[in-house]
Structure 1
Amino acid sequence: MDFFNKVGKMAIGSRLRMLNETIGEDAARIYKLYDIDFQPKWFPVFYILQDGGEFTITSIAKEIGHSHPSVSKIIGEMVKGGFVTEKKDKADGRRNMVSLSAKGREAGSKIQDQYADVTGAVEELLAQANHDLWKAIEEWEYLLEQKTLLRRVQEHQKIRESNKVRIVPYEPRYATAFKALNEEWISTYFKMEEADYKALDNADSYIINNGGHILVALYNNEPVGVCALLKMNDPEYDFELAKMAVSPKAQGKNIGFLLGRSIIEKAKALGGHKLYLESNTILKPAISLYHKLGFVKVAGRPSPYERANIQMELELK
């Protein structure tokens, strides 16, 4: 066990496989102990069938939580072993019905003592252990159903990567990146419009000198994301969140959220009360981000962009 002590919790899959192999090897010997020529992996299917009746492979798979191909393969092996019979459904010839054979029913009678003894042995283990493995497995299954291990790793990856991101104020040297990053995403989904060129070709005069601001996200000192705060001449809104763009090569690092949160804080620091933005509903990740930042949909209003089909606002508190 020194290996697992050194590697730690990232080896959980390997450790569980080792535990499974240890129990699996004993399980095969236990069936022989009770004179049953049986493979441990057949048990879930056998248990469903042992009370009699006929079942479809689909219904068995659903009951035991296995995939259809997995159950189909096990059924094939059990048919070869003589434990199961398979025949066409009289009512629906497209379906195969599965039931225990005479040999399978005989094994069902012999296995009852094994059930009792195995249950007793497992209960003994649980009583001797400081932690209830059975309850822990149930809890892990529930937690992983709510959020997979993959998803959890992705979230931690995003947090770690986002710690390498710096949000800095715009400087003229970032003008090229500001334009290029926005042109990249706009051209991918839409077409560049006149209003785009006004903002991207003249960032200083069009945005900065009119009371607006631009923030730049640096990853390893390279500009990979930008977001603008436009000063609005509007009785309802103080500023507009606009021109947010993140390089595809830097996605998955939480940069959009970091930029959005920083631009909101900037608007608050400038005394803003309400923030406005325009987008398009085909940009699902962007819309999801705006909701995460607290924006809500508002009734449509005139826009200088053909592509804009949704408007959102955020009360700054």
Structure 2
Amino acid sequence: MNVFDKTGKMALGSRMRILTAKMTDDAAKIYEMYNVKGFIPKWFPVYFLLSEEGEKTITEIAEEIGHSQPSVTKIVKEMTVAGLIDNSIQSVDKRRNVVALSEKGTELSKKIKIQCEDIDNAVGLMLNEASHNLWEAIKEWEHILEKKSLFKRVQDQKKLRESKDVEIVEYEEKYQNAFKSLNEEWISTYFEMEEADYKALDNPKEYILDKGGKILIALYNNEPVGVCALIKMNDPNYDYEMAKMAVSPKAQGKNIGWLLGKAIAEQAKKLGAKNLYLESNTILKPAINLYYKLGFEKVVGHATPYKRCNIQMELKLNEK
């Protein structure tokens, strides 16, 4: 059995490399058949661009063919050694170094154009033989990966799988140390603990629960790794505040912040809240991105007891 029948989609990259190797091996033989000696197939995108459009900078070539600048620089050096490129040209304004085909490279283009016509016809026949148009499929996949990389897609799947093992539970006294230590950890990393922090973290029952609020705990493998509080507000504009959200660094990447935020919003809805308020700081970029993802929008003008607060946000629950 072919190994790829066993590995499945996981080996997509390896399978594509093998297909690329087969095509590249044939490409080298094709250049020889047309007496284009010593031409390396990987040079072709750079060569084609220069033959069609004339002199270019390294940056312009990289952008046009979708390669990195170091990759293009390496190819240009190799082609210069082969005598196909002149890299000693200055642009008209003399402020940029550009490269162009040498006399040898320009002369070679006559042979390559005939070769390209035959290759184009041969590939066209292959596409007609196939059940699926590989050329169009590649173009579609390039677009899909441009929107979101394979790495990011696998990362999302990992988060989704691991988040299924996260359990959100209501606060009990046994979680008081976790509630305090997780918050102290992140606050001390970026800021200084303030009086309002100590009041809520040392006495969560008195300052949060007894006033009509909630505290939720995220458990991963039965260990408390995330916390978040819903605090009742005495404010005509806001019902509750989402506060004291903290996730252990060792548990990040499991969607715990998202799960806590969604759960807190649901708790607020059950309590009849029409909106949810929060305070944060813009240096906490992952947290701010999470809040926007949860549906929060920036607001201004509310008094805050925290020196570290430089952004205030609200979530309109009746619109969700």
TM-score higher than 0.5: yes
Higher mean C-alpha displacement, 226-235 vs 243-252: 226-235
- In the other structure, the counterpart of 1:155 is 156
Higher mean C-alpha displacement, 81-90 vs 18-27: 81-90
- In the other structure, the counterpart of 1:29 is 29
Q: Residues 83 and 105 of structure 2 are in contact (CA less than 8 Å); yes or no, is this contact kept in structure 1? A: yes
Partner SS, residue 46 of structure 2: helix
Q: Residues 56 and 98 of structure 2 are in contact (CA less than 8 Å); yes or no, is this contact kept in structure 1? A: yes
Partner SS, residue 139 of structure 2: helix
Query: Please, what is the CA RMSD of the aligned residues?
Result: 1.8
How far has the Cα of 1:63 moved from its partner? 2.3
Higher mean C-alpha displacement, 297-306 vs 180-189: 297-306
How far has the Cα of 1:231 moved from its partner? 1.8
- In the other structure, the counterpart of 2:194 is 193
Q: Residues 247 and 257 of structure 2 are in contact (CA less than 8 Å); yes or no, is this contact kept in structure 1? A: yes
Q: Residues 298 and 312 of structure 2 are in contact (CA less than 8 Å); yes or no, is this contact kept in structure 1? A: yes
CA distance in 2, matches of 1:36, 1:281: 58
Report % sequence identity: 62
Higher mean C-alpha displacement, 220-229 vs 294-303: 294-303
Q: 1:314 to 1:130 in 2, by over 3 A?
A: same
Q: Residues 300 and 310 of structure 1 are in contact (CA less than 8 Å); yes or no, is this contact kept in structure 2? A: no
Q: How does 1:10-89 map to 2 (within 5 A)?
A: 10-37=10-37, 38-51=39-52, 53-89=54-90
Partner SS, residue 240 of structure 1: strand
- In the other structure, the counterpart of 1:107 is 108
Higher mean C-alpha displacement, 272-281 vs 130-139: 272-281
- In the other structure, the counterpart of 1:123 is 124
Q: Residues 88 and 94 of structure 1 are in contact (CA less than 8 Å); yes or no, is this contact kept in structure 2? A: no
The residue type equivalent to 1:122 in the other structure is: V
Higher mean C-alpha displacement, 283-292 vs 222-231: 283-292
Q: 1:50 to 1:301 in 2, by over 3 A?
A: closer
Q: Residues 240 and 273 of structure 2 are in contact (CA less than 8 Å); yes or no, is this contact kept in structure 1? A: yes
How far has the Cα of 1:100 moved from its partner? 2.5
The residue type equivalent to 1:142 in the other structure is: H
Q: Residues 91 and 97 of structure 2 are in contact (CA less than 8 Å); yes or no, is this contact kept in structure 1? A: no
Partner SS, residue 268 of structure 1: helix
CA distance in 2, matches of 1:235, 1:3: 66
Segments of structure 2 that go 5 or more residues without pairing to the other structure are none
Q: Residues 278 and 311 of structure 1 are in contact (CA less than 8 Å); yes or no, is this contact kept in structure 2? A: yes
Q: 1:89 to 1:234 in 2, by over 3 A?
A: closer
Q: 1:23 to 1:228 in 2, by over 3 A?
A: same
Number of residue pairs matched by the alignment: 317
Q: 1:48 to 1:313 in 2, by over 3 A?
A: closer
- In the other structure, the counterpart of 1:285 is 286
- In the other structure, the counterpart of 1:307 is 308
Segments of structure 1 that go 5 or more residues without pairing to the other structure are none
How far has the Cα of 1:267 moved from its partner? 1.1
